[in-house]
Amino acid sequence: MDTRFADLADLGEALERTSARLEKAALLADFLRRLAPDEVAPAVRLILGQPFPAYDARTLNVSWKQASAVVCELTAPTEDQRDRIWSEAVDGGEAVRMLFETARAEPVTPPPLTTLEVYQAFEAMADATGKGSRTRKADLIRGLLERASPAEAKYVVKNVFGEMRHGVSEGIMLDAVARAADAPPKTVRRAHQLWGDIAEVAGVALTGGVPALQAATVRLFRPLQPMLAQTADDMADVFAKIEDVALEFKFDGARVQVHAQSGGDEVRVYSRQLADVTASVPDLVAAVREGLRAQDAILEGEAVATGVEGRPLPFQDLMRRFRRVHDVDRLARQIPLHLHAFDLLWLDGQSLLDQPYEARRAALAGVIAPPLTLATQVMPTDVTKAEAFAQAAYEAGHEGVMAKRLSSAYTPGARGRHWLKLKHVETLDLVIAAADWGYGRRHGWLSNYHLAARDEDTGEYMVVGKTFKGPTDAEFQALTARLLALERHRAGSTVYVEPRLVVEVLFDEVQNSPSYPAGVALRLARIARVRDDKSPAGANTLQDVHAVRDRRRARKGHR
């Protein structure tokens, strides 16, 4: 029997009421066990609010204005009801649930929704393009909501906008998959790191079991989760944690993973979020075809926008390239990209993941030629030499250095002590949760930004500071347009938005603060840049912010 979408909505409500990680995993595992094989992957995507994996270029491309127009057709609230709902609802999905509970215009239309039907409707929305696509998408949403209970309507809308508030991270879902399939968590996580698609991992785990998961390997044109770095306090901290250390420039660019086959005849470029950006970077593709000396390979590097004398251009210029889908060739001439390669994960049919970094780097040096270059590297013997290298990185216009253990294997998706990053200035990547209308010269712009970090335990975005400093006038205007497209609701002069836009934030200190429910606040925060290369899931968490506070206080002798 097909699984009702109401069961998935009930699961979502139960997850929202549960704060304990283990209890969430248990609820998820019990649900996954009851699914038919063809329902597992779609259900996982709908639970996480991610209808498509990152490497899949499809998007729903439905605005809140479009979705709310359908909701307005199906409900008839009074003005008082509408005002109360928007003041009480924490997000668009919850507002829709409340509207359907109190002001539904017509009864639910049978038959009940199934999980597969809902997922197939989302696929149809993504496939609807060109003339008439807006009407087609609206019809699909209407068809779902007409048959939806209030709770089901809530989770339909949450999936449209990709925001869940039940606190289920990928880590919790992976734990649940391991439980449901009776598989070692390490085996499940390894498959996810290699495939980059948690829904596929769940489907394989529950149908093929442990043997199928153990057979997971690197695949060309399926991007791997990138290996991540911890933050070092200073160069002395680097040497205390890594004995066999190599230092590289930490470029002010965008990390990319390049997959090439048949000697470069087929090349795909993926962002750190695993999104396929090949069409936006034809100059990188051309450089790989010219400079790669291998039949097939997966290499990692940093794409840097370059200006006069090869010096790096501002990060925002680089992001113009990665967002561009039209007139790409002209912009490529204006803002050329250069690839600094730093790792090799696959070479001519063989995975290099388990080889030490020193061996992977040597293999990389043997298969690339101009216009590709190796990331600048040294192996300093003491702190003084290391700091001189960091100063050279600064003078060259880069943002710091990376420290890497020469003996370390490549661990996709893991953040450990094998790689450390040391920036010239410490920053946090935070999400804009709301913004206030400006006044005076900034009248008409959203110019005071509420900066938030996600609580790993609850999934809720908690505000940790506000700032109107950093952006230029042109950037204020651009941010206003982008934030209004993410608008949820307004209260006075504040516009609350979907927490999707990530910004890199400079700050002087992290202070304890009774004024914020998060318990901490950033002192003298200012926005350095928009991080379009990062998703909210890749931004710093509330726990990260607390860790920065604790680390800095410890260095000052406070406890």
**Cα angle for residues 557, 430, 497 (degrees, 5° grid):** 140
Tell me if residue 534 is catalytic: no
Of the candidates 375, 351, 414, the one whose C-alpha atom is nearest the C-alpha of residue 255 is: 375
> CB of 296 within 8 A of CB of 348?
yes
Q: Quick check: 534 and 272 in contact, CB under 8 A?
A: yes
Helix (H/G/I), strand (E/B), else coil: 245: strand
Q: Which amino acid makes up residue 316?
A: Q
Q: How many helices (H) and strands (E) does the chain have?
A: 20, 20
Burial string for 23-46 (b: 16+ CB within 10 Å, else e) reads ebbbbbbebbeebeeebbbbbbbb
Q: How many angstroms separate the first and last alpha carbons of the chain? A: 58
Identify whether the C-beta of residue 377 lies closer than 8 Å to the C-beta of residue 250.
no
**H-helix or E-strand spanning residue 524:** none
Q: Which two tokens stand for residue 160?
A: 């449209």
Is the link from the previous residue into 42 a cis peptide, with omega within 30 of 0? no
Q: Which is the catalytic residue, given 154, 250, 404, 534?
A: 250
* Cβ neighbourhood burial of 260 (10 Å; 0-12, 13-18, 19+): buried
The Cα–Cα gap between 30 and 86 comes to 34
* Cα–Cα distance measured from residue 13 to residue 15, given in angstroms and rounded to the nearest whole number: 5
Q: Kindly tell me the burial class for residue 409, based on how many C-beta atoms sit within 10 Å of its own C-beta (0-12, 13-18, 19 or more).
A: middle
Identify the CA nearest to 509 among candidates 520, 494, 499: 520
Count of positions (residues) in the chain: 559
Question: Which residues are annotated as catalytic?
Answer: 250
